[in-house]
Structure 1
Amino acid sequence: MTLLEGLEKRLREECPLLELRKNEPMSRHTSFRVGGPAALMALPKTREEAMDAVHIAYRQGIRPFFLGNGTNLLVSDQGYDGYVIKTTGLERLEWVDFTYSGRKLVVGGGVFLSRLANFAAEQGLTGLEWAAGIPGTVGGAVVMNAGAYGGELCQVLEKVSYLVETGDVLRMDAGACEFAYRHSIFSRLPEWMVLNVSLLPLAQEAPARIRERMAELAEQRRAKQPLEHPSAGSTFKRPPPVDGKPVYAAALIDQCGLKGLTVGGAQVSEKHAGFIINRGGATCRDILKLMEEVTRRVLAETGVELEPEVKTLGV
């Protein structure tokens, strides 16, 4: 019996209600729509199931890979010969009365950012308008400190609850989470799983005004981004400033004349050079080869080395 077979047996014995899938196609779980099968996937729907899914795996000597909505992930065409825990079933979103700190909004790691932004708008709470068009989950957004249009998740967080290898739940102040551009302590320590977050008090504003701002940002996205094709959003991180001036990956790629560059079914978007898209039938190999070619040519022509924002699994 292999380690994964032993893990599956333990999970089925100790967590009979936990949903498990064998050889699950990862193309169903990533926004690129590519990727071979994951050997074993767990889909917890409660805090207790998540705790068991984590603890039993570590007890068996297996480190899980934590997956949100797969919007920043590229999975090998051969798949992933490991154990994936998908967190989108952790959908808690409610007000909680804490004894010492008052009423807080608690949001599960599997809640979609768009749902959180819309909930805040309904409540007349401003500060999350930027998140309405981001397709990822709160947990993934914590890991990467997701942001757009001048907003970042770290600006609205109070505390993060997370699972460690023992299956225990710990809490950390947002100020201790090492938040920086597309970075947090959870990206540095991927063995920890974001379970939920509590938000700082958000300012009140008329829901109609919040909706208006969300609509304006949505229109900007539609006008500038290739939303009609599968992608993982911005493929490369923003490079460090040069001579004190900001530098943008999309501008560099465009400057090098790489819009429309194609490898197999993968293409540098003609609409937004910062996006690599799946034009249809793209493989992980196509996308990686295109990323490598873009990186090589931008470095050769501008002296700037692009760093991928997209994470890989099984590659």
Structure 2
Amino acid sequence: MTAKNHSTVTEFILAGLTHQQELQLPLFILFSVIYIASVVGNLGLILLIVLSSHLHTPMYYLISNLSFIDLCHSSVITPRMPISFLSETNTISYPECMIQLCFFHIFAIAECHMLAAMAYDRYVAICSPLLYNVIMSYQVCSLLVMGLYFLGIISSTIHTGFMQRLLFCKANVVNHYFCDLFPLLSLSCSSTYINEILILCFSAFNILVPTLSILSSYIFIINSILHIPSTEGRYKAFTTCTSHIVAVILSYGSAMFVYLQPSSVNSMDQGKVSSVFYTNILPMLNPLTYSLRNKDVKIALIKTLEKRRFP
């Protein structure tokens, strides 16, 4: 289905984060730095895991895939933002808007399920350490990763397909800095009832199901940690989960705020602020939280730098 057959609107204007001129240049610099840091951090963590043989474990395999998702996630949205701060009108064509919508949701949904897979990995590592390499084998990890990408592609394709069936008659100013579901639905001059039902259903599945999986995993994890006799052992076991807990709170908190409410009560301006966390800030923070608090990553980085410096 093409825009020509279903819409008189051939392009959209993205309203951006703010219209205050004095903030445009500082925001341009800020989001440029954030994107560069995100690319360097995620790409660096992926390369470090690939190059360091002692990081070739299920946990780091999942972390490297999370970094790949974050890298793609931020690359779909962030590169256009600095340009919008310097241009008078930030336009995006109808096909580009649908493509951005599709890929954004693929990686956003994949990240939700990736965090659930990582919680399961921590559950197995702490609750069944002797069977860890058997339960979390390479085949199991590969199936988990392929499954979460499959869920992302299916959900995103359905959302994008039903979005293309809507009519956009005259209004084309999207009250957001990228093409997202609710801002686009508010512009449609046809019924959006089915789209809103799909958003609530898929959001409930892709947010609540992984959330319940994570909560269940941590209930068993906490129970196992409390049965560890030494304080040092309990602390060590808990610290392996802290980075993941931080990522879950930031990612799921902002996503729930945006998507798990009807569009009639959804504040677009508040949604834009929440979206900044999971489209810009979170992809930059994840590689930091998983490296700065991880001794194995620090050791691998030092060894890699020493090899490059003293071949």
TM-score by length of 2: 0.25
More helix by share: 2
TM-score by length of 1: 0.25
More relative contact order in 1 or in 2 (CA 8 Å, sep 6+)? 2
More strand by share: 1
